[in-house]
A and B are shown apart, each in its own frame.
Chain A
Amino acid sequence: MEWVRFTCAAICLIFAVVMENIAVYGVFKFKFVMNRMHAAAIGDTLGLMLGALGLIILKGVSWFSFKMCLVVFLLWITSAVSSHVIMRMEYSIDEEAVAEETSDIDIQGGGQ
Chain B
Amino acid sequence: MDERIAEMRDDPAVDLTVDGNAIGGMLATMFGVDVTGSPGQCAHCHTVSVVGTMRVYMRGPGVVVRCPACAQVVMRIVKTPTGTYLDVSGASFVRIAR
Chains A and B come from one and the same complex: no
- Chain B residues close to A by CB (< 8 Å): none
Q: Which residues in A have some Cβ–Cβ distance to B below 8 Å?
A: none
